[in-house]
Structure 1
Amino acid sequence: MKILMITAIASMALLTISCMENKSENKSTEFQAIFPKGEKGPAEHFTGAAFNTPLVADDSIYNTVIGNVYFEPGARSNWHTHPSGQILIITDGVGYYQEKGQLRRTMKKGDLIKCPPNVLHWHGASPDTGVQQMYILPKTEKGIVTWLQKVRDEEYNSSN
């Protein structure tokens, strides 16, 4: 009887530990949003759902725009340029970034992307995972963005 009771207690302890490990594993894969989801971006500039939250509005003192964009899985921007470049800070998820004529790059939490001035590029989420990114647009007196054509599915899905 004593052995049966010890076995039952040991089994319960192992089950509890296993459940706690699974819970912590699940927690680490949850999307951790820093900012509110924001307003859905216009369909003429995005494929899929992308949500923008402005953080720092343009003004004559800083001449910088800072915001946050959340791309749902599969969502992406159109090809576009920024007169003074753009800095992206990936705060969660997995996504893609590509400059025209270059290979598509995977970006993930903790990555920092510097897109040079007037370089044609796009960015967005991977097919299975959303991505959240802060964007910084400096020297806004030169302009903010020039939106161009949509990223074709073949471009989005191509890893070369």
Structure 2
Amino acid sequence: MCVSILLVEPAVAASVAALLCVAVIAMRRRSTLAEIEIPWRSLAITSVLFVTMALVHGSAVLRPALGSLGDAPAWTLTAAGALVANGLNNLPAYLALEPAAHGETDRVLALLVGVNVASGITWWGSVATLLWRDRLRRAGVRIRWGTHLRLTGLATLVTTLAAAGVLELVSR
């Protein structure tokens, strides 16, 4: 079973940490605040995905899929996480599929491999990739879809299979 070390919701902890960072910057070098570039586009996309997943969970649309994943082998969670993350984004994908892990460590880890390691195939597959692409765009660097797939596709496949294989070996 997974145990959270946080006493508060992660969003609350992250918000407090962000506000503390801004406060420290304001106290130490106020002029730097004007230089901070907030990736509004990525933030908006991620927010919409989170709201969408909250609505989907509330409607119980996922209940049949989660039921079938609940009895499936752990590697199935890796595959499902990879598909949903690359289709939507890794954070809402995790939230959508986490109930199927039943809090079992090997299943949660298998899901995390799927939504984090395997999410690099599409630009929108992970928040990190969205932020990376936004920074490149701001710097005037354009990456074509084919180039992205060549650079990340094979690496994503190999690392996902390796991580899933290790999890399968250690969970026996």
Which structure has the bigger radius of gyration? 1
Specify which structure has the higher proportion of strand: 1
Shared fold (TM-score greater than 0.5)?
no
| TM-score, structure 1 as length reference | 0.24
**Larger RCO of the pair (alpha carbons < 8 Å, separation 6+):** 1
